[in-house]
Amino acid sequence: MKTKSRPDIRAITRLVPASGNLVQGQSELAINPVLATAASRIIAASQNHYGPAEGLLELRKAVAEKIAALNGILIDPEAVPLQLLITHGATGALIAIAQTYLRSASALVFEPYYPYHRQILNELGGTTEVLSLHGEKLELDGDELRTRCRELKNRRISPLRAIILCTPVNPTGKVFSRSEVETIAAVCHEFDLLCVADEVYEHYVVGGQPHISIATLPGMWERTITVNSFSKSWNISGWRLGYVYGDAHLVSALNKANNVFYVCSPTPLQRALSEVLMTDPLYYADLSERFTVKRRFAVQGLEQVGFEIYDSGSAFYVWTRIPDGFEDAMQLNEMLIDRAGVAGVPGSAFADGDQWDNCMRLCIAREDGVLQGALDKLQSAVKTYQRQAKV
């Protein structure tokens, strides 16, 4: 059987200039000036040495305050065993989880999925199983989930150990509904599964569907490890700062891998972020409002040339079905690169099957002028192609 060829996101990124990069899933907005000033001052003061593997206490205190305010979960940052770790980005947290809990086991991901959720497990001796979401609304079939988990739980090789719940989802932006999250929680209880909750995009929810942290549901604190990051929400993906939290019996064990793989997260950058993180009570509300506007004009521009936009309920990514007249999103993307120097990511990068081949992910976390310019070039290229195709 021929292995399906998948687009390489980083390779596509290198094919277009920054002005046309709707590819890579990072925020390219300017750093918060107060944060930049704090980092500069701390680095200049030579506070640049090793810190504890679990992260500086001052940042863990600030993160615990954030979690209490925005997720309704109380964390003791000084608890021993540990309930909260600062990690080398969300990726560092996922690596620690895979190393600690998922070697020789498997985790279930929902398709379309974030490729690193699979790649990390594959590199560290685990495997992933895929369950597709269905229909135009990308809905979860609870009965199908139960049947699949029942099949996988007790197999001899790579038994199912966890469900990875990413909400809002990379790549689609889907915000799982309360009923869907409750279904996943019930399945975790029924089959004694760990839940790895990837909540990196929680601050980009813009629709009527609220973000639900699965750890807040009855009985889920004891079986949920929640992963998050500052890369997107603070525009500092290169700083490599994230965090992971949960019941101490789950989280404390992660610090061994955290220490072995990374020693510590960048000390001066942790200290700078700790000073700024919770100083503006409106920071995350303002972020959501800013991205609501970005999504609105991106959607309007794309719809004018025939893209069918998925109403995801979040706004870091736009997930869309491509206009008619193209073989698939790979062909469309190649045309955009060649003619306009602009690109997104074909849907096949996020799937095993072919049902998403006519879909595309566009990252809109760009300064307004850059985003508008890229969309203008995209529109022009598509209109020209469509006009020539009719001749």
Output the domain CATH number for residue 316.
Answer: 3.90.1150.10
Which region holds residue 211: left if phi is over 0, alpha if psi is between -120 and 50, else beta? beta
Average pLDDT over residues 315-343: 97
Whether residue 71 has pLDDT greater than 50: yes
pLDDT above 70 covers a percentage of the chain that reads 99
> Domain for residue 2, yes or no?
no
- The domain boundary residue, chosen from 276, 292, 313: 276
Q: Are residues 245 and 300 in the same domain?
A: no
Q: What is the pLDDT of residue 3?
A: 55
> Domain for residue 71, yes or no?
yes
Which region holds residue 138: left if phi is over 0, alpha if psi is between -120 and 50, else beta? left
Average pLDDT over residues 99-116: 98
- C-alpha to C-alpha distance for 171 and 113, rounded to whole angstroms: 7
pTM of the model: 0.96
Q: Which domain holds residue 198?
A: 33-276
Q: Are residues 86 and 102 in the same domain?
A: yes
β-partners of residue 106 are 127, 160
pLDDT above 90 covers a percentage of the chain that reads 96
Average pLDDT over residues 16-27: 96
Q: Are residues 260 and 314 in the same domain?
A: no
Residue 156: how many CB atoms within 10 A of its CB?
5
Q: How many domains does the chain have?
A: 2
Q: Are residues 39 and 153 in the same domain?
A: yes
Q: Are residues 210 and 299 in the same domain?
A: no
Token reading at 19: 């002005």
CB 217 within 8 A of CB 185: yes
Per-residue pLDDT of 134-178, as tens digits, reads 999 999 999 999 999 999 998 999 999 999 999 999 999 999 999
Closest CA to 224 of 64, 139, 101: 101
> Domain for residue 131, yes or no?
yes
- The domain boundary residue, chosen from 276, 299, 327: 276
> Domain for residue 178, yes or no?
yes
- C-alpha to C-alpha distance for 189 and 180, rounded to whole angstroms: 14
Whether residue 2 has pLDDT greater than 50: no
Q: Are residues 122 and 253 in the same domain?
A: yes
> Domain for residue 1, yes or no?
no
Average pLDDT over residues 113-137: 96
Q: Are residues 255 and 334 in the same domain?
A: no
CATH of the domain at 256: 3.40.640.10
CB 26 within 8 A of CB 18: no
- C-alpha to C-alpha distance for 116 and 331, rounded to whole angstroms: 24
The conformation of residue 14, written as its DSSP 8-state character, comes to T
| Residue 390's pLDDT band (cuts 50, 70, 90) | confident
- C-alpha to C-alpha distance for 133 and 108, rounded to whole angstroms: 12
Q: What is the pLDDT of residue 1?
A: 37
- C-alpha to C-alpha distance for 168 and 97, rounded to whole angstroms: 20
DSSP character string of 331-347? HHHHHHHHHHS-B-EEG
Per-residue pLDDT of 183-214, as tens digits, reads 999 999 999 999 999 999 999 999 889 999 99
> Domain for residue 310, yes or no?
yes
What are φ and ψ of residue 225, in 5° steps? -115, 120
Q: Are residues 125 and 257 in the same domain?
A: yes
> Domain for residue 4, yes or no?
no
Average pLDDT over residues 258-266: 97
> Domain for residue 3, yes or no?
no
Q: Are residues 288 and 186 in the same domain?
A: no
Q: What is the pLDDT of residue 14?
A: 96
Q: What is the pLDDT of residue 4?
A: 60
Q: Are residues 38 and 148 in the same domain?
A: yes
Residue 57: how many CB atoms within 10 A of its CB?
15
Q: Are residues 360 and 211 in the same domain?
A: no
Whether residue 391 has pLDDT greater than 80: no
Q: Are residues 77 and 107 in the same domain?
A: yes
- The domain boundary residue, chosen from 276, 309, 324: 276
Q: What is the pLDDT of residue 138?
A: 97
| Residue 6's pLDDT band (cuts 50, 70, 90) | confident
